[in-house]
Structure 1
């Protein structure tokens, strides 16, 4: 069964757009695989350490604020390091 030529110009435009979209998507995937993933693998642990330090600072500020507001210290989580 042979494919028919589109009867409406918008159908051809839609097919052309889909073709371009597929090519662009392939380029995006290639870029992510070639550029982003290797960089994340090289620097991922540093980023996690930085994020952990910032989260620790935020938790400390929240604890300080809670102490000032209620007067009682918040409970320490079970896995928190001992001061």
Structure 2
């Protein structure tokens, strides 16, 4: 096995920076999983419930229009 070549200072800094980036990405992923995802799930279910209520209202209006008596005929124009 060849002897290890000593690293230059910029290589050390690059290695340290990469390690910090990996740690920050892990922290960020944990934050997304623990804080953001549950909140999105909670709010998306509320949004679906609201949409369902509005769709029910729309369906009722469509039924009302369909079941309404036809308008009286217009008198002929002279």
TM-score when scaled to structure 2? 0.53
User: How many pairs are equivalent?
Assistant: 53
Aligned-pair CA distance for 1:36: 0.5
TM-score when scaled to structure 1? 0.50
Unaligned runs of 5+ residues in structure 1 are 53-80
Unaligned runs of 5+ residues in structure 2 are 52-60, 66-78
Aligned-pair CA distance for 1:44: 1.1
Deviations 1:6-32 (A, max 9, x none): 1x1100000000000000000000000
CA RMSD in angstroms comes to: 2.6
Aligned-pair CA distance for 1:49: 6.8
Q: Answer 1 or 2: higher relative contact order, Cα 8 Å, separation at least 6.
A: 1
